[in-house]
A and B are shown apart, each in its own frame.
Chain A
Amino acid sequence: MSGVPVRLAIRDAIAEEMRRDQDVFLMGEEVGRYNGAYKASQGLMDEFGAGRIIDTPITEYGFSGICVGAAFAGLRPIVEFMTFNFAMQAIDHIVNSAAKTLYMSGGEINCPIVFRGPNGAPRNVAAQHSQCFASWYAHCPGLKVVSPYTSFEASALLKAAIRDNNPVIFLEHESLYGKKFDMPDGGADSLLPLDKAIVMKEGSDITITAFSISVDHALCASEVLRNQYGISAEVINLISLRPIDKTTIVNSIKKTGRILSVEEGWSVCGIGAEIMAIAVEHAFDYLDCEPTRITSSDTPMPYAKTLELLALPSQSKIIETALAMCNCPK
């Protein structure tokens, strides 16, 4: 299929899994009658009814705990957060209840649940609504953390996440919901593994890792690098932030000798910091220059458009940094 927006891929993936398995249900704010704050559940209440598409009051802590309890009992809840910023209200249940119980129970009680919703910085909504939580969840054993870029990834990863027997954090991006990608005709059983990165573009001079919206920036930057500067960049879409696919990253660094990480999160203890550690620990002898990261500025997100542009990673920042790493004059 050509030109499928990410939000539709997500909607269809949920619907297909709900048709396949009666234990799957969707709960969150405005998911039902309103059809989703970002329309990622458009029409689902009509098909599945209010018993399986469940509108909640604005009480993230409470409904997350309720869904964890339902998952302990063997159901397969999909929890939609209107944004992951609001999931901070619920993070105790995500970490202390969902992620740790399998371990605390010696393998007795698992928690098959998906926490999904937009993550990172949309535009113009200031600090409390613009934050990437990838590294927060990637820090925690017991969770799986994925972040799709394309419509196919969103679909195939979400299906895999719903079928997985562990808690999965599924980080979407508001700026990608409307972006259209061609979808392969794979049917309802097209799944992607939750722990594998995808090489979006092969290259030989520099490795660029990214996830979610940052993949977009990295791919655009790689075009310019090739066309204007003759630099061949390999772009890795991380997809999984926990576990991070070390093998794919290390193999790429062995080929290119350079690693540049791009993310919307903050730098301190971020995903980029982990990528740098992987490079140094596992590919030290192959590095031709220092591992480098591009992150959001070490500030809360400003509202003013000019400042927001300064704060976020961008195509031009990637190009500029990659050129410096490759000792290539601008």
Chain B
Amino acid sequence: MSPGDMKRDSGLDIYRKLLLARMIEEKAGELYSQGHIYGFCHLYIGQEAVIVGLSENMTNIDSVVTGYRDHVHMLLRGIPPNSIMAELCGKVTGCSKGKGGSMHMYSRDKRVYGGNGIVGAQVPIGAGLAFAHKYRGDGGVSFTFYGDGAANQGQVYETFNMAALWNLPVVFVLENNRYGLGTSVDRAAAGGTLANRGDPFGIPTVLVDGMDVFDVIEKSKSVIEKVRNGEGPVILHMDTYRYKGHSMSDPATYRTRDEVETVKKTRDPITRVKNALIHEIGIGDDKIEEIMNEVTAIVDAAAKFAIESPAPPDHALEMDVTL
């Protein structure tokens, strides 16, 4: 899919989703600095095209699991912004009733299974979701997101092995944002690339520009259909970048400001769509501003809702340990 193929309405919809993804994270950063959000908080800013693009090709039957950088995955699978922001603030109105926080968000209804704080542990879990799809024959696909840091975990390769042996309907989405916390991929991954890690298992890898929502939509479409049709697992290698530090407490001194600014200037996923809307479809500035206002209102309302919501009651401490 090229920007030129984009229909006006779907283009605006994608732009709105990207912007909401960006702004909800910016608001989370703001609430963090004000002390409303605390603990670990990993922002997705810069990587939005990955989940926004893939969501275009997902169905309601499909399952999703990801690591701790999970707010936007939840958002795109349909968890309301209010519920996400309230969870970040540790409020009872949050999607995990304030007991999970930033890294642990779920919805059985939307088939999102975390939010997992143990690097790489979501990968076999994702294959397990795929196992369940296959066991039931429901036509669903598991989208299992992991980062370049997780890509060096042993359990990832145990999972590749079994997913390939058993032909599981799983799309492994490698969000390579170039740094596992402060360690760059070239310092962590032997062989200089993560793009061949599926080869020994016969799992094909498709290279995708994870900063370009059109490339994500285009390249993933046929891949997902193949997985859905029982052709076995696939890895989507998303070349992406996070603008912020690993977490709120990371000043990101391991990379130059120049590097970050260059990516922002040349590859920003939102600017790219915005420019396409303006220059190729002829959307006016007023429409762009209207969307901005609309998204700002959603995000502001979510923050207000979260801040004003009550903390979990004391009796919640010992609830939900076992059923």
Pick from B104, B129, B154, B320: contact of A61, CB under 8 Å: B154
**Is B44 located at the chain interface by the 8 A CB criterion?**
no
Interface size grouping (class) on chain A: 35 or more
Nearest Cβ on chain B to A83's Cβ, whole angstroms: 19
A25, chain B: closest CB distance, angstroms: 7
Which residue of chain B is the closest to A111 with respect to CB atoms?
Answer: B323
A96 vs B125: C-alpha distance in the bound complex, in angstroms? 12
Please provide the chain B residues from 119 to 176 with a CB less than 8 Å away from any CB of chain A in the complex. Answer: 121, 123-133, 135, 142, 154-155, 158-159, 161-162, 165
Q: Which residue of B lies closest to A103 (CB)?
A: B320
Complex: A264 Cα to B115 Cα, angstroms: 38
Task: Using C-beta atoms within 8 Å of the partner chain, give the interface range for chain B.
Answer: 35 or more
Are A101 and B126 touching (Cβ within 8 A)?
A: no
Residues of A within 8 A of B154 (CB): 61
B99 touching A103 by the CB < 8 A rule? yes
Residues of A within 8 A of B65 (CB): 69
A178 within 8 A of partner (CB): no
Given A75-B132, A102-B320, A108-B106, is A69 in contact with B118 using a C-beta cutoff of 8 Å?
no
Do A66 and B96 form a contact, CB below 8 Å, given A25-B135, A102-B322, A166-B322? no
Within 8 A of A (CB), among B276-323: 319-323
Q: Is A69's CB under 8 angstroms from B99's CB?
A: no
CB-defined contacts of A165 to chain B, threshold 8 Å:
323
Most A C-beta atoms less than 10 A away, residue of B133, B142, B162: B162
Contact B121 A70 (CB under 8 A): no
- Is the CB of A213 closer than 8 A to any CB of chain B? no
Q: Does B63 contact A (CB under 8 A)?
A: yes
Residues of B within 8 A of A141 (CB): 321-322
16 contacts between A and B (CB under 8 A): A57-B162, A63-B158, A66-B124, A66-B127, A68-B124, A69-B131, A70-B132, A75-B132, A102-B322, A104-B96, A104-B104, A105-B96, A106-B99, A108-B106, A109-B108, A144-B322
Interface contacts beyond A65-B125, A69-B128: sample of 20 additional A-B pairs, CB < 8 Å, sorted by A: A51-B135, A59-B158, A59-B161, A61-B155, A62-B162, A65-B121, A65-B159, A66-B127, A66-B128, A69-B127, A69-B142, A73-B63, A75-B132, A97-B118, A97-B125, A101-B104, A106-B95, A108-B107, A110-B323, A142-B322
